Amino acid sequence: MLKAVKFTFADLLDFDCSENCEDLARDIKKGLDSGLHTIVSIKNEKEETIALAGLFEFRSGVVEAWIIRGHKIDNYKYGFFKLIHSLIYDFVFPHMGVHRLQIAVKKQWRRWAETLGLEYECFLRAYDDDYTDYYQYSKVVI
């Protein structure tokens, strides 16, 4: 059983991240200090952090969602999907004053975004530091 809890930097200690954890901690601190980020840790039944998820507020009511997956997430694919779906539709839209949620995904995650109920919007060429292409999806609830 997975759960989302308020992020603390201690969560990075047991997070088997696929990225440089020091850079990740710096980026998260910068985002939290700006006041524009909301971050949760996704924990498994052993209280291990298996993913981080967050929202970046572009403007009032408009957020971009992001997820950083740990290596253990593959053991929880369906539960992770259900938790993210619940966070979006049972919490973000009804309780955070959000009317538009968007997410940029790599090609292999397009089906996942569509299954979450997000709609394809556009192609983002060379969107990150590695010049990787992304696809933008969104959901608008008015």
Q: What is the pLDDT of residues 113-130, one digit of tens each?
A: 999 999 999 999 998 888
User: Following DSSP, what letter does each residue of 26-39 receive, concatenated?
Assistant: HHHHHHHHHT-EEE
Q: Which domains does the chain have, with CATH numbers?
A: 3-102 (3.40.630.30)
Tokens in use for 24? 């990740």
| CA–centroid distance for 60 within its chain | 19
> Angle 90-93-82 (CA atoms, 0-180°, nearest 5)?
35
Kind plus residue range of the DSSP H or E element containing 58: strand 49-59
Give the pLDDT of residue 69: 83
Using alpha carbons, list the distances in angstroms from residue 63 to 60, 101, 102, 133: 8, 5, 6, 20
- State how far Cα 7 lies from the chain centre: 12
| H or E segment and range at residue 60 | none
- pLDDT tens, residue by residue, 84-110: 999 999 999 999 999 999 999 999 999
Each residue of 19-74: pLDDT tens digit? Answer: 556 666 667 777 777 766 788 889 999 988 888 888 988 889 999 998 888 888 88
Q: Do 110 and 118 meet the contact criterion of CB atoms below 8 Å apart?
A: no
Residue with tokens 């967050």: 54
Indicate whether this model's pTM tops 0.95.
no
